[in-house]
Structure 1
């Protein structure tokens, strides 16, 4: 699974000032209340991201990552998945996440992502999802379904958490994967990409040879150049798929 030994995510290539950052509560359309972390840039680039964490939910790594996105000019909200089953409690290192992961339902995740998307869309500008592991697969699913998104980015998306898309075309998808990642087999990835082709959903996949699962959080110091390249590709993707 995804385990971070460092609390600070890799820096984006260009860093700016953060105007504000705070933990907030959001309410989904079905009444679910859940924690999120919002960070806003001093100089917005006009783009927004909803961060979908790995199995740990709103772990401190993802609060820090929201700040990193804000430093790069994005309005960012990192969400927690487990408001329905674990309430508004902390997602620290001692949080036992798997019982809650096993209770996740896609329609509930969609509702929670929508709540964050609506907050960001109120300030205008395109909204992208960016996810990791479980969140990477969910990010791809959100984009493949459309959901008003400009695109969906997945780091080492673990595809056992989602089904292949059957309708489309959805919003464009970017995949940033580790060549040594064993969480998703090449055959499973090929099947998923073939489904995207069938539904007409635009996608681009980049595989970093030798990089492991969780290269962006668990071992980013060892894979610093890979992480910086992933940042650049992500920034380029969001710029290319933003209106105007």
Structure 2
């Protein structure tokens, strides 16, 4: 992993304000969740070699909250991911989204997806899994989190990480993966993909996928679904036949209201079913 100087890190280690530039202008259907009754905002999370920025939302009153790790899209922890954290907080969770690309660069200021992809490609899975371990520890020690009631959810890039982290940390009670890539070539930085871990996965994962997703072929989703069946896994995959990629992203043209709302309801039931 290429090291960056302290000055470079400080320059990049800030949380995104608003939406990432590449996704603007945002859709008129964007959902905005207020902070009434919440503690919500930017935090600094200590990880193995430094602090990384993140966003945390939690009820203003109470303690021992169940924890949800919210894993970013390729666009970073921008306003949409922050709003998802607030939605969880309104349900009684502490939700934390660590900025997992920060060592490699600030994707929020880039205006082209072609500029973002090379940065994200440099993010090692091992780094991500370690940062999530640290984030979870911090949530328990510093944010009144309940270590015995932990869930994870992620979108797009974060959907893939949801599967992988559930395999990495069996203490996770349940996960929900939104249209995360399942099958790909192995590389030094990304040696495994969800299809490589589902046969032995102990954590129940609910996968939510779009039948019209041009980046994640349905046949790859079906491959994983069959592996789950053959291993008698508790995990399930739902395919929304007419939904494209990013159908939950209310700030983008890809948003599909009915499928997004159905998926959100399924997510809540899934976490409750498995004690999160």
- TM-superposed CA distance for 1:214, in Å, is 0.7
Residue among 199, 206, 225 paired with 1:174:
206
Query: Whole-Å Cα distance in 1 between the matches of residues 194 and 241 of structure 2?
Result: 26
User: 1: distance between equivalents of 2:74 and 2:154?
Assistant: 11
- 1:54 maps onto 2:73 in alignment: yes
Give structure 2 stretches of 5+ with no counterpart. 1-21, 185-192
Equivalences for residues 147-226 of structure 1 within 5 A? 147-160=170-183, 162-166=193-197, 168-197=200-229, 201-217=233-249, 218-219=251-252, 223-226=256-259
- Relative contact order higher in (CA < 8 Å, ≥ 6 apart): 1
Alpha carbons of 1:160 and 1:54: their partners in 2 closer, same or farther (altered >3 Å)? farther
Q: Report the TM-score, using the length of structure 1 for normalisation.
A: 0.83
Q: Counterparts of 2:183 and 2:70 in 1: how far apart (Å)?
A: 20
Worse-matched range after superposition: 42-51 or 2-11: 2-11
TM alignment of 1:62-77, pairs within 5 A: 62-77=81-96
Matched, 1:139 2:158: no
Q: Say which SS state the counterpart of residue 58 (structure 1) adopts.
A: coil
Render the CA deviation track for 1:165-217: whole Å, top value 9, x for unaligned: 34634211011111211211122222333444455542111122211111111
> In the comparison of the two structures, how many residue pairs are matched?
237
Alignment deviations for residues 88-120 of structure 1 (CA, whole Å, 9 cap, x no partner): x57246484222211011111101111221123
CA contact (8 A) 1:10 1:228 kept: no
Q: Which protein is bigger by CA-based radius of gyration? A: 2
RMSD: 3.0
Does the Cα contact within 8 Å between 1:7 and 1:64 map onto a contact in 2? Answer: no
Tell me the CA shift for residue 67 of structure 1.
Answer: 1.2
Match of 2:189 in 1: none
User: Mind listing any 5+ residue stretches in structure 1 that lack a counterpart?
Assistant: none
2:108 equivalent to 1:91: yes
Name the CA shift for 1:7/1:239 in 2 (closer, same or farther; >3 Å). Answer: farther
Cα gap change, 1:62 to 1:136, in 2 (>3 Å):
same
Question: What's the counterpart of residue 39 of structure 1?
Answer: 57
CA 121–197 in structure 1, closer or farther in 2 if over 3 Å, else same: farther
Structure 1 match to 2:18: none
Q: How far has the Cα of 1:74 moved from its partner?
A: 1.4
- Within the alignment, does 1:129 sit opposite 2:148 as a pair? no
Distance 1:43 1:213, change over 3 A: farther
Separation in 1, partners of 2:261, 2:117: 30
Deviation at 1:144, TM superposition (A): 2.8
Deviations 1:59-81 (A, max 9, x none): 22111221121122211001212
